[in-house]
Amino acid sequence: MKRINILFFFIMITISAFSQTKLDSIKRCAEQGSSRAQCNLAITYNNSAIDNNNSQNKAFCERQALYWFRKSAEQGNADAQFGLGLIYLQGRGVLLDKKEAVCWFKKSAEREDLSAQYRLGLMYSNGDGILTNKKKAAYWYKKSAEQGCIAAQFDLAIMYLNGDGILTNKKRAAYWIKKIYEETVDIKWKRIRAKKLWEKYELWKYE
């Protein structure tokens, strides 16, 4: 047992050293101006902030995540723009500012980030940080849905069913609901939700 504990100790030291070496390498690239490295570094700090229970360490990681997300976002990195939008939306390490969040989500969405497109659609739909605009919500849901975002596919299908911000079209609703059901075999609750909508609205009639 003692030998196993010693072996485990040395394995953990090796992993830790490897992780630090990798982090140092990313940081060097980030400092040299690589937007991808800056974004990766921001994600690393952001994840550390989420998992950190020490308030001082958490605050430090949040500041670093904000700094590096901004550096990368200002170079046009869509992932960083989305990450920066989330930071403002959630008020992590910065004052909560939904208008600023919308601004960064828009930049990211225009660069075809499917998560930003969905988030922007959601904010337009709910009037969250921006004036409610169902037509624009449907537009961004569609963009995201076409890239494979299941949440966007659900919300777009509901809009087609209800004629909410878009013309009622049960054929398109049936298309998206069927797609969700067929492509989420390993996600039971999503299949159940899709099946309920399929049966409730008798969507088999519109295939």
Rounded to whole angstroms, how far apart are CA atoms 47 and 69?
Answer: 13
Tens-place pLDDT, residues 127-182: 999 999 999 999 999 999 999 999 999 999 999 999 999 999 999 999 999 999 88
Residue bearing tokens 């040395």: 10
Average pLDDT for 189-204 = 90
Predicted TM-score (pTM) of this structure: 0.87
Q: What pLDDT score does 174 carry? A: 96
Which residues are CB-neighbours of 83 under 8 A, at least 6 positions away?
A: 39, 42, 43, 46, 65, 69, 73
Q: Which class would CATH give 26-111?
A: mainly alpha
Per-residue pLDDT at 18 exceeds 70: no
> Which residues of the chain does CATH 1.25.40.10 include?
26-111, 113-207
Q: Which residue in 133, 132, 157 sits closest to 144, CA to CA? A: 157
| DSSP secondary structure of 106-124 | HHHHHTT-HHHHHHHHHHH
Task: Give the pair of three-digit tokens for residue 128.
Answer: 């969250």
Tens-place pLDDT, residues 41-89: 999 889 888 877 777 888 998 999 999 999 999 999 999 999 999 999 9
Q: Which class would CATH give 113-207?
A: mainly alpha
Rounded to whole angstroms, how far apart are CA atoms 122 and 134?
Answer: 9
- Count, residues in the chain: 207
Q: Estimate the crossing angle of helix 114-126 against helix 98-110, to 10 degrees.
A: 140
Per-residue pLDDT at 17 exceeds 90: no
